[in-house]
Structures are given as structure tokens and as C-alpha cells.
Amino acid sequence: MSIDDRWARLTPYEIGIPGREFANRVFASIADEARSRASDLRDPGAFLMLGEVGRAIREIQGSERGGDALQRFGAFLFHSFHFHAAGEPIYLIQTSTARHLVSASFDSTGWDGDLPADSGYLQLPSHLFWSAPGEGDAAEPIDGLFWTRAARGTLALLVALGLRRGRPGISVTELPPVSLSGAQRWPIEQVRADGEDFSTLLPGGELDQLYSVGTMGEVLKLVGRTFAYMAAIPEALGPTETSSGSPADSELQPTAPPSAIPFRRVRPPATEGGPPDQTERPHA
């Protein structure tokens, strides 16, 4: 198992949305219908009721059918629509940054719930955070989290899991929209009744210092700490980059193909008064 943060990996958006032409065509049709019906595109329920959304879901969901599938594909399309509208911002959290976010003491008084963009994707180091998509399911690595500023001052989140070479599709877990008015508490709340938040639930996971995310509160805590960190240390955000191609050395092959979408790194804290580390590379 390799923890990889070399570059942004192929995202759920790129896997689930069949190409740029589809995104431009379908999302424009959804926006046109919403305007004609005076529907609030930031309300997930109203979004799902649009006829163009139903047509798009049928186009991307293939043979999977049923109410459960409709809800999952609808949530994915909701975040994909807003991710596209926001300019497709991807923030790749480096491994040392992620470990800092888990272990550091946080004072959230400087963060008021502001978001770096109305919608975006936080990509985690591969195989560092694990979660089960449903009760009784086996744990899968979390690739990242979509966020979208939703209606009535809320934040909608979608966790993407199970992205790996040789596995078709992805797993997603939708969180109900949560009010941003209480966001200052997210980074500092103790969530688990037993044990430390993010402590691994995987057999042997402590040997690789892996983390588990088992509750909605832990998702909010991780998101809140990331946004609070980015707001407090703007220089931790690296410049816009594009992912490199796969290296020739098979031992350095990434866990997934690189993303075609530009991204920015969320770099670890400065050491000894210097700038945030710009040379963080993958941990084996």
C-alpha cells in the first residue's frame, strides 16, 4: 500500500462525467431550465427535480437503477454541476499537511466558516484516510471530498471512496447539508465517544499511521480544519500546477492516473520560520 501525494489524481468528476462536451452541454441545459422555472440550483432537492437533471442522470448511470441509485447519482451531479461552475478548483492536501490537520491543536476563532470557493474538491493523499461507504461495507480509501455552498447558508458535502486502478466506478457517500453558522466548532469538537477522532479502525492500520473517518462529525472536522488552515496560512497554498505523466520507474507508479485538471497543493506548515514546505513528496 502506497500513500501518494505527488500530484492530483484522476478525480471522480473526470470518471463520472463523460467528457468536456457533455459537461458544457448538459450543465448549460440544466442552468437554462432552472432559470425558466425560477428553481434554486443550490437547493439539492430542487436541483434533483429538474427534468434536465433526470435526463443527465439516465445518461451517466448506465444499468444501475432504483431510488438509491437516483439519490447517489443526483448528489454526484449536483456537486459536479457546481464544481464545473466554480472553475473546477482542486486542492491536493499533502501527506504532512494531512497529518498536521489531524494531530495539531486548533483554535478556530480566526475562521468564520468562509470557503475558498463556492464549490471544489479536496483530494487527500491516497490510502491515508479510510471509511466504509455504508453500514456493513468493507472500508475503502477516501480519495477526497466535494463541497458546495448550498441553499439557506448550508454546506453540502460528498465523500468519494474506492478510486483505484482496476476498479470500475467509485463509491460516494452524501452528507445532508449542514449549517455554516456553526462551522467554527467543527475543527475543535471531539466527535467520537470512544477513542481519538480519526484513529484507525483497520486491523494493523496503526503500523502505517492510517486514519479512519467513521462519522459525519469527523468529515466536518477534517473539512473545517482544512479550511481554517488555508484561511490562517494563505501562503500554504501552492501555485497552480498540472499533473505530470506516469513515471517510467514502475516502483514510482501512482495509485491512479493523473488528473487533467490544474490543481493547487495545500502544503505543510513552515518550519523554523521559513515558508511552507514546497518539496513534500510521497511516502511509501
Nearest to 169 by CA among 16, 11, 13: 16
Distance from C-alpha of 248 to C-alpha of 224, rounded to nearest angstrom: 38
Is 107 a residue whose pLDDT tops 50?
Answer: yes
Q: For position 165, what pLDDT does the model report? A: 56
Cell readout for 61 is 448511470
Report residue 66's pLDDT band, with 50, 70 and 90 as the boundaries.
low
Q: Beta strand 129-131 with 119-123: parallel, antiparallel or unpaired? A: unpaired
Q: For position 237, what pLDDT does the model report? A: 96
Contact by Cβ (8 Å): 253, 137: no
More confident residue, 90 or 195: 90
- pLDDT > 70 in the chain, percent: 84
pLDDT tens string 2-21: 788 889 999 999 999 999 99
Q: In 3-state terms, what secondary structure has residue 70?
A: helix
Q: How many CA atoms lie within 13 A of 73 on its CB side?
A: 22
Q: Which H helix or E strand runs over 91?
A: strand 90-93
Distance from C-alpha of 50 to C-alpha of 33, rounded to nearest angstrom: 7
Q: For position 276, what pLDDT does the model report? A: 64
Q: For position 247, what pLDDT does the model report? A: 43
Nearest to 163 by CA among 180, 186, 146, 143: 143
Nearest to 85 by CA among 50, 55, 120, 113: 120
Q: In 3-state terms, what secondary structure has residue 146?
A: strand
Is 169 a residue whose pLDDT tops 80?
Answer: no
Mean pLDDT of 161-190: 84
Contact by Cβ (8 Å): 145, 122: yes
Complete DSSP assignment for 50-117: -HHHHHHHHHHSTT--SHHHHHHHHHHHHHHHHHHHTT--EEEE-HHHHHHHHHS---GGG--S--SS
Q: For residue 264, which amino acid is it?
A: R
Report residue 274's pLDDT band, with 50, 70 and 90 as the boundaries.
very low
Is 283 a residue whose pLDDT tops 60?
Answer: no
Contact by Cβ (8 Å): 239, 226: no
End-to-end CA distance of the chain: 8
Q: Where does residue 164 rank: exposed (0-12), middle (13-18), buried (19+ CB within 10 A)? A: middle
Is 50 a residue whose pLDDT tops 70?
Answer: yes
Please, which residues have CB within 8 angstroms of residue 164's CB and are 6 or more apart in sequence? 141, 255, 256
Report residue 260's pLDDT band, with 50, 70 and 90 as the boundaries.
very high
Is 83 a residue whose pLDDT tops 70?
Answer: yes
Q: For position 59, what pLDDT does the model report? A: 87
Distance from C-alpha of 124 to C-alpha of 170, rounded to nearest angstrom: 15
Distance from C-alpha of 107 to C-alpha of 269, rounded to nearest angstrom: 15
pLDDT tens string 178-231: 999 989 999 999 999 888 999 999 999 998 999 999 899 999 999 999 999 999
pLDDT tens string 108-140: 567 889 999 999 999 999 999 999 877 777 889
Averaged confidence pLDDT in the chain: 87
Q: How many CA atoms lie within 13 A of 160 on its CB side?
A: 30
Q: For position 249, what pLDDT does the model report? A: 39
Q: For position 226, what pLDDT does the model report? A: 96
Is 1 a residue whose pLDDT tops 90?
Answer: no
Cell readout for 259 is 488528473
Report residue 271's pLDDT band, with 50, 70 and 90 as the boundaries.
low
